[in-house]
Structures are given as C-alpha cells and as structure tokens.
C-alpha cells in the first residue's frame, strides 16, 4: 500500500478531490509512526549536507518531516511548502510545539512554480512523494534544481516497497489480499499520473532524472520501518486507518470477495479483524535519491 499511505497520503489517487483537512489526522499519524525511518534518512543526508542555511520541504503535508529537519539541523531555517493551507497550519502548530517556530516558515502554492517565491536558494530541498503528483517529473526536478544554491542537495523520496500489515494467508478470504490491493493501487496510480495536466511518461530512474536536471553525485538508499507483531496501539490504529482509507478508495477495483474480506478485517467486533488479531505488524521501505548542484 505504499502508493496510498505514505507522506503521507499526499498522493491519494483521487488527486483533485481530496479534502486535506479531513485527511490530515491520518497523514500525521502515518508520519509520526514512520518517524524512525525518516530520522535515519535525515541522518544519512546530514553526512553530506553540513550546516545548511535553508532547508525546503517541498510537499510538506502537515510538517512532521519539516520539524524533524529543524531538529536535525539546528542552525538551519526550514520552509514547509504545500498547496494546502490546512496542512500548513498544522505544520506551523507543530513547529511551535517542537520549539522551532523561530526558524520555521511556510509557503503556500503549487509546485514547482511556488519555489520561485523563496527568498533565497536552498541548501537542501527535500521532496517526499510529491514529485509524482506533477505532470512532467523531469521538468519538475529541473525546476527544483534551479532553486538550489551552488553545492546544494536535492533529495527525493520516491519508490521503495509497498507496506505490509498482515500475513499472506490471514485465515479467511483468498490469500494474498495485500498483493491484490497493491495491484489495484498501481492501476489507480497510473491513471492518476496519466490524468495530470501536462503528463509526460518517463522511465522512473530517479538517479538518471536527477542527472538530467543538471545535478551530479547521485546516490540512493532505502530505509526500512520494521514494527513487528504484536502491534503497539499506535501502530494498530494506523493500520485500521490505512485499511479504512484503502477500502474507501480502491473498493471498486477489487472483487466482491476481497471487499468482504476487507470489511471483516475492519469490523471492530471480529476477533479476526485488525482491531484485535495478534499478528498485525507494519513493514515498509522508502527510498531516497539525492544529487548535488555543481558549484
């Protein structure tokens, strides 16, 4: 379910119809649960990005990762950029709670054009599952690269592996439910991409796309989130919310038996449902690709 429940669901496939204010609690819960993964990714970036002056989180959502950047780089100013004002309000509130509001700003507008409103070039520009919302991903990366300071880094979180919450055989329904959900979400994702304004098909070789944007020193690394069973209350609540969202969005792409299986999994009174069953876990992998603007 990687295409549906990460950074947050920033990439819900009914792209133009999403109520981000309504979805915000799930976005925050997911990002908070995935914080150990993001912390490792930021630590990896920090080995090469030293003492940045400006960090831009492009497609920030509710700002969980934005605040992590502020904590990881205490000398940096962080700007959260998003098209959703309700999500940016949550980002600002989080910065206040985390004690980093004095060097935290927000910028509302559509990517990548809104990046032109930045006061000065970024030393680190982070885009977590936001580039694939843009019709021409190659052109979007080039626009992001133009907003980097010489020697600045562009880091893109795209790809990885779909999340897993349950065993292949859960004891009822046809085994392999999550694999079939993945297939349905891939189809919806492809339709979403095709329907974007100015959609251009590119091979999703992210290091090659970064190189084509005029950047060099590309590198990639995948980070794992492994929360084994028995799930904590927070992890279980996330699984419930994620599968509920899946049921809402991809139900029409599943057969009747799989819809019935999802309904049973989401029944709070059913001992075999995810509210109660002991084998619920969260396992996911996210990949970060980075490259540097020549000095």
Going by pLDDT thresholds of 50, 70 and 90, the confidence category of residue 17 is low
Q: How many whole angstroms separate alpha carbon 114 and alpha carbon 257?
A: 45
For the chain, the domains span: 20-293
Angle formed at CA 32 by CA 235 and CA 85, multiple of 5 degrees: 130
Residue 198: per-residue pLDDT: 95
Query: Phi first, then psi: what are they for 148, rounded to 5°?
Result: -85, 145
Helix, strand or coil, per DSSP, at residue 216: strand
The stretch 200-211 carries a mean pLDDT of 96
Angle formed at CA 81 by CA 80 and CA 82, multiple of 5 degrees: 125
Going by pLDDT thresholds of 50, 70 and 90, the confidence category of residue 129 is very high
pLDDT at position 16 over 60: no
pLDDT at position 4 over 70: no
Q: pLDDT for 145-196, tens place per residue?
A: 999 999 999 999 999 999 999 999 999 999 999 999 999 999 999 999 999 9
Q: 20-293 belongs to which homologous superfamily?
A: Vaccinia Virus protein VP39 (3.40.50.150)
pLDDT at position 14 over 60: no
Helices (H), the chain: 20-33, 35-46, 64-72, 85-98, 137-146, 177-195, 206-212, 233-250, 256-265
pLDDT at position 94 over 50: yes
- Which among 9, 12, 6, 10 is positioned nearest to 38, based on CA atoms? 6
Kindly report the average pLDDT of the chain as a whole number: 93
Helices (H), 80-127: 85-98
The stretch 108-116 carries a mean pLDDT of 96
- Which among 222, 206, 154, 255 is positioned nearest to 2, based on CA atoms? 222
Residue 20: per-residue pLDDT: 80
Residue 1: per-residue pLDDT: 33
The sheet that has 282-292: what strands, in order across it? Answer: 104-108, 77-82, 54-58, 122-128, 148-164, 282-292, 216-227
Q: How many whole angstroms separate alpha carbon 73 and alpha carbon 257?
A: 49
Q: How many whole angstroms separate alpha carbon 294 and alpha carbon 119?
A: 21
Q: How far is CA 136 from CA 3, 59, 195, 212, in A?
A: 18, 16, 12, 13
**pTM of structure:** 0.91
Residue 12: per-residue pLDDT: 36
Residue 18: per-residue pLDDT: 72
β-pairing verdict for 282-292 and 148-164 = antiparallel
């Amino acid at each position: 379910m990687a295409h549906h429940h990460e950074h947050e669901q920033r990439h819900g496939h009914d792209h133009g119809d999403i109520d981000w204010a309504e979805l915000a609690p799930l976005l925050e819960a997911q990002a908070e649960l995935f914080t150990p993964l993001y912390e490792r990714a930021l630590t990896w970036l920090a080995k090469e990005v030293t003492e940045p002056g400006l960090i831009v989180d492009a497609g920030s959502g509710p700002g969980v990762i934005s605040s992590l950047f502020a904590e990881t780089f205490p000398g940096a100013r962080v700007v959260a950029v998003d098209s959703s004002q309700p999500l940016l309000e949550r980002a600002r509130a989080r910065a206040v709670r985390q004690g980093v509001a004095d060097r935290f700003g927000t910028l509302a507008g559509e990517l990548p054009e809104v990046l032109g409103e930045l006061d000065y070039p970024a030393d680190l520009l982070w885009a977590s599952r936001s580039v694939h919302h843009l019709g021409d991903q190659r052109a979007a990366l080039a626009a992001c690269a133009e907003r980097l300071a010489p020697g600045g880094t562009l880091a893109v979180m795209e790809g990885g592996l779909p999340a897993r919450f349950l065993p292949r055989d859960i004891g009822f329904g046809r085994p392999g439910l999550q694999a079939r959900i993945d297939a349905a979400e891939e189809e919806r994702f492809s339709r979403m991409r095709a329907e974007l304004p100015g959609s251009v098909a590119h091979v999703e070789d992210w290091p090659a796309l970064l190189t084509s944007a005029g950047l060099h020193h590309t590198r990639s690394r995948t980070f794992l989130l492994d929360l084994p069973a028995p799930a904590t209350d927070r992890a279980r609540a996330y699984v419930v919310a994620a599968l509920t969202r899946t049921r809402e969005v991809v139900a029409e792409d599943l057969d009747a038996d799989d819809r019935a299986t999802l309904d049973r999994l989401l029944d709070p009174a059913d001992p075999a449902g995810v509210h109660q069953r002991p084998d619920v876990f969260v396992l996911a992998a996210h990949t970060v690709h980075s490259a540097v603007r020549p000095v």
